[in-house]
Structure 1
Amino acid sequence: MSDLQQLPVCIIGAGSSGVAAAKALHAQGVAVEGFEIGSDIGGMWRYQNDNGLSSAYRSLHIDTSGGNLGYPDHPIPDKYPDFLSHAEVLEWLESYAERFDVRRHFRFNCKVERVEPEEGGAWRVTLAGGEARRCRAVIVANGHLWDPRTASFPGSFEGEQIHAHHYRTAEPFSGKRVL
């Protein structure tokens, strides 16, 4: 086995893709080192995630049926409705993580600052605080909903504006005209 092959695969993010990747790689005998900015798995499915990046809102339900959502080795249980709430998706992900002991592959409250290629094919992953890790491959599983983008329009608007990423509940808009 080459020196490169002895290095772990690094996974950035412990949401649904990150935990599935960690489980699959470990099952094939590949060393895994995962980094999650929050304190636990779940990514965007963890409502009010302490990582401050989730766009989940209180009434969120997934738009994929449970039959298509589950993993072959961990299907969605029949006790759930066809379209799961964020809390149910998280509960299912947590059961997956427990069943396959996935959490042990991740360092939580750990932010990745940089990923850079090295000569010879390895990657250098630099964490907040300066610690650097070497790995043979990097899986970026940090999702795409954490970075709200706002369009710029000509003119001005004096009313309140929020991005859908920051919406959590309808209560603040009660009695207001909303577009």
Structure 2
Amino acid sequence: MCNFIGENNFFGRRCVWVNGPVIVGAGPSGLAVAACLREQGIPFVVIERSDCIASLWQKHTYDRVKLHLPKKFCQLPRLTFPQEYPEYPSKKQFITYLENYAETFDIKPHFNECVLSAKYDEACHFWRVVTVSKTDLTRSETEYMCQMLVVATGENAEGVVPEIDGLEEFSGEVIHVRDYKSGKSYNGKKVLVVGCGNSGMEVSLDLSNHNAKPSMVVRSSVHVLPREIMGKSTFDLAMMLMKWIPLWLVDKLLLILTWFILGNTQNYGIKRPSLGPLQLKNHHGKTPVLDIGAFQKIRSGDITVVPGIKRFNRNSVDLVNGETIDIDSVVLATGYRSNVPYWLQETEFFAKNGFPNGWKGKHGLYASGFTRKGLAGASADAIKISQDIGKGWKEVSNKNKNKQKVPTLRRCISTF
């Protein structure tokens, strides 16, 4: 898989030449790429900053979470979900599936290695990926050198914590939704949920089910659709209709059917965007909410919808409509962002917001899982990336045989 150069570079780092690509991230996107490469017999190294695969799912999702789409849209390449799994697998079931996936394709990531930087070396014509590994007693750095780099850290690497006036003055607990597990500890508390996407809706529902009193901030317009229409997945129905009629008409039909099921959401403080749900997703990457019961709680008054925040006080929050409500805790369901700009030294393929312009860049750079199309998009990326790498693999491997490459690497290390 890789060759260890028998010396450290100028900075005292261990230097490793990787015959195949380095994949950064051991979530679903990285695992999918690795599995597709494994099938072609192409070596690789997977680097993961956490101590497990799919750390976002294992450590930063709430207990009640399930896949929002039917399992057939969420499985990774070359391995289907077990038949006994329900249509919408639970968090635990999905993690088990991913662990079996890694075992099936013999994917063994290098855990607890955080990427400090990745830069293409123009002089030596390969990527330098510097990682740091920390324990209680030691700190070590490794420099991986490779001709292909796959960025698979995903869209949701870091939680977004907005700057809100007075938030630092608030005396109660404030957490991001990535650290929320269950509403059990919020029994009887007044909780402000900031954000009305799928996470905000589901956390509000979970809080209400645990006898908390959630208020959900709805600052902008959002599409709320039922997860199922007439017993069929709304997403599945949309995909079927798109084969026969244009996207704008599919949106119209979905909104008409939603009106019959949910009624007019604007009557409950949730304004719909002017663009239809599928058009909005395609043009701006904004995912509609697939409702699993929260809207019924809104209609019954168990979840209160409130407008935007003006400022926080010690035990309350002032809203933009002039109201002030008392609160005990805050859950920030304010979204996620890519962390790529912090470590990837490249400015053409990846934009400042950490999202790439496609799946393939220059000098063997690839991106997997940034299409804003969920697990289905990650699977599609993995197939394209692995096929593209496979096309030139024989030519690259013949040119870079170990006996020829090691002296070249030593020269590059010495001139770095």
2:183 alignment partner AA: A
Asked whether 1:15 is paired with 2:20, we answer no
Q: Secondary structure of the equivalent of 1:116?
A: strand
Structure 2 residue runs of 5 or longer lacking an equivalent are: 1-17, 133-139, 193-416
Is 2:163 aligned against 1:152?
A: yes
Q: 1:161 Cα deviation (Å)?
A: 2.4
**2: CA distance, partners of 1:72 / 1:144:** 20
Match of 2:49 in 1: 37
CA-CA distance at 1:45 after TM superposition:
2.1
* Amino acid of the structure 2 residue aligned with 1:174: N
Moved more, 83-92 or 138-147: 138-147
Larger radius of gyration: 2
3-state DSSP of counterpart to 1:162: strand
Residue 167 of structure 1 deviates from its aligned partner by 1.0
Contact 2:130–2:143 (CA<8 Å) still a contact in 1? yes
Confirm or deny that 1:167 pairs with 2:180.
yes
Question: Residue 74 of structure 1: CA displacement?
Answer: 0.7
Q: TM-score normalized by structure 1?
A: 0.83
Equivalenced residue count is 165
1:71 matched residue in structure 2: 76
SS across alignment from 2:158: coil
In proportion to residue count, which structure has more strand? Answer: 2
Counterpart for residue 111 of structure 1: 114
What is the CA RMSD across the aligned residues, in angstroms?
A: 1.9
SS at match of 2:191: coil
CA 1:166–1:40 in structure 2 vs 1: closer, same or farther (change >3 Å)?
A: closer
1:138 to 140, 149, 161: 149
Name the SS for the 1:41 alignment partner. coil
5+ residue gaps, structure 1, are 1-5, 49-54
> Structure 2 CA distance, aligned partners of 1:20 and 1:165?
23
CA contact (8 A) 1:13 1:36 kept: yes
Q: State the shift of 1:155 in Å.
A: 4.5
TM-score by length of 2: 0.37
- What CA distance in whole angstroms lies between the structure 2 residues aligned with 1:108 and 1:163? 25
Q: Deviations over 1:123-167 (max 9, x none)?
A: 100010222110112112123323111112334552432221221
1:61 matches 2:66: yes
Higher mean Cα deviation, 155-164 or 138-147? 155-164
Helix, strand or coil for the counterpart of 1:20? helix
The 3-state SS of whatever aligns with 1:111 is strand
2:126 paired with 1:125: no
Counterpart secondary structure, 1:113: strand
Greater than 6 Å deviation, 4+ residue runs: none
Q: Deviations over 1:70-101 (max 9, x none)?
A: 13421112211111111101111111112221
What is the identity percentage for the equivalent residue pairs of Structure 1 and Structure 2? 29
- Larger RCO, structure (CA 8 Å, separation 6 or more): 1
> Quick one: structure 1 residues 73 and 154, their matched pair in 2 at CA, closer, same or farther if it must change by over 3 Å?
same
Q: Give the letter aligned to residue 114 of structure 1.
A: S
CA distance in 1, matches of 2:90, 2:103: 20
